[in-house]
Amino acid sequence: MASNNTLQAVILAGGQGTRLRPLTLSRAKPVVPILNRPILAYQFALLKAHGVSDVVLACSYRVADVRAALGDAEHLGVRLRYVVENEPLGTGGGVRNASDLVSGTLFVLNGDILTDADLTAMRRLHESRGSRTTIFLQSVPDPRQYGLVETDASGRLRRFREKPTADDEITTSTVNAGIYLIDAELLGRIPRDRPSSIEREFFPALIADEIPCFGWCPTAYWRDIGTPSAYRAAQIDLLHERVDIPLSPLGKPLDGSWIGGGPVAPEARIIAPSVVGAGAALGPRCRVGPGAVVGDGSTIGPDARIEGAILWERVEVGAGAVLQDCVIGADVKIGAHARVGPEVVLESGAVVPEHATLTR
C-alpha cells in the first residue's frame, strides 16, 4: 500500500497482441519496440512527468519476457511491480488483481496506447468535479473498434458501450482512449478471480448506480498501436516530433536524425527524420530515411534503400535491397536486391531471397 501522496498507476498489459501478429509471435506486446525502446518506456515517461512513479503491471501472457526486458524499470524512471494472472482475467479482473497494491486515486492505462495527454490536467478535473472515475476520451473518425462514451453537457458519463456492432448503436464519435482515474475503493466492485471487462461491466455499472463519473476530452496526441499500420504510423509521428513525451535522446543527434554510433560508410546517406540504433552499420551509398528506424546491431548493405520502414534488431539488408513503408522483425535477412513494399510485416527470423518482391 502506498502512502496517500504517492501517485500510483496500474498498466493493463495482459493481452495477447493478436492484431499485431506476426510481430507478437516472437515478442510480448508490452515490450514491442517503438523507436528501439519498449512501448511501455513511453508510458513510464509520461506517468513520471505527471508525478506517478509507482507502477503495477497487470500481466498474464509472456510475463517472463516482459520481466526480462523491463525488470524493476528503475532505469526507466519508475518503480515497477508485477501482478500475474494465472488465467487471463480481462481488463476488469486485471485491475482487480492489482488492487491489493494500490490505494487512493490511481491511474489505469491500457498498455498499448501512445499519448502525450496532460495527466495532471486530468487529475485536476477529476478532483474539481468530485469524480470517482474519470475516462480520457478522444473523438475519432471511425469509433467502431473502440468503447463509445456518451456524456451529458456537464461531461458526466451517461453511457458506455464497448464496440457496438449495430449501426444504430453508433451514436457518438467520442471513444474511450484507454486511460482512467479511478477511486481505488471502487475496485471492490470487480469480482476477484473470474474474468471480467472494465469496459463492458465496471463502467456501465458505475453509471447505472449513479456514481459520479466524468469524461475528459483534451487536445492531445493519441493512438492505439494495436495493429501493424498504427504501430508503424506511431513511430513516424514520433520521428516527426508530433508526440510530446520527455525521453532521453535516441542516440547522437545528426541533422534531424539520431544515430547510434555504429560504422557509417562515407557515402551512406541518412535522411531526416530517422533513427539508427546502437551499433547498426550502414554500407556504402545506402540511403536510410526519411522515416526510417534501424534496429540495434542491424546492417544495411551497399546501395540499399530504407524509407518509412521500421527494422527491429540485427536485421541484415543485402546490397541494393529496397524497403518501403514496412515493418521487419528481429534477425530477418533480406537478400540482395529484394524489394519489400508498403504495409508488409515480416516476422522475426524471416528470410527473404535475393531479388524477391514482397507486396501486400
Rounded to the nearest whole angstrom, what is the least distance from the CB of residue 139 to ligand GDD in the complex?
Answer: 12
Rounded to the nearest whole angstrom, what is the least distance from the CB of residue 99 to ligand GDD in the complex?
Answer: 12
Q: Is 8 within 8 Å of 104 (Cβ atoms)?
A: yes
Rounded to the nearest whole angstrom, what is the least distance from the CB of residue 205 to ligand GDD in the complex?
Answer: 15
Rounded to the nearest whole angstrom, what is the least distance from the CB of residue 227 to Mg ion in the complex?
Answer: 9
Is 318 a binding residue for ligand GDD by CB under 6 A? The answer is no
State which of residues 108, 114, 175, 206 lies at the interface with ligand GDD (CB under 6 A).
175
H or E segment to which residue 42 belongs: helix 39-49
Rounded to the nearest whole angstrom, what is the least distance from the CB of residue 115 to ligand GDD in the complex?
Answer: 10
Q: What does the per-residue mask of binding to ligand GDD show for 138-167, with x meaning CB under 6 A? A: --------xx--------------x-----
Is 66 a binding residue for ligand GDD by CB under 6 A? The answer is no
Of these partners, Mg ion, ligand GDD, none, which one is at the site of residue 334 (CB under 5 to 8 Å by kind)? none
Closest Cα partner for 190 from 202, 178, 206? 202
The stretch near ligand GDD (CB under 6 A) out of 41-49, 108-116, 261-269, 334-342 is 108-116
Q: Which residues are at the interface with Mg ion (CB under 5 A)?
A: 112, 224, 226
Backbone angles phi, psi at 27, to 5 degrees: -140, 135
Of these partners, Mg ion, ligand GDD, none, which one is at the site of residue 133 (CB under 5 to 8 Å by kind)? none
Closest Cα partner for 286 from 330, 320, 242? 320
Q: Is 295 within 8 Å of 314 (Cβ atoms)?
A: yes
Q: Is 215 within 8 Å of 179 (Cβ atoms)?
A: no
Is 201 a binding residue for ligand GDD by CB under 6 A? The answer is no
Is 88 a binding residue for ligand GDD by CB under 6 A? The answer is yes
Residue 349 C-alpha cell reads as 527470423
Cα→Cα distances 176→53, 72, 212, 353, Å: 24, 29, 17, 44
Closest Cα partner for 338 from 319, 317, 354? 354
Is 14 a binding residue for ligand GDD by CB under 6 A? The answer is yes
Q: Is 346 within 8 Å of 352 (Cβ atoms)?
A: yes
Which DSSP letter does residue 173 get?
A: S
Rounded to the nearest whole angstrom, what is the least distance from the CB of residue 317 to Mg ion in the complex?
Answer: 31
Give the type of residue at 348. Answer: S
Q: Which residues bind ligand GDD (CB under 6 A)?
A: 12-15, 58-60, 85, 88-91, 94, 110-113, 146-147, 162, 175-178, 199, 224, 226
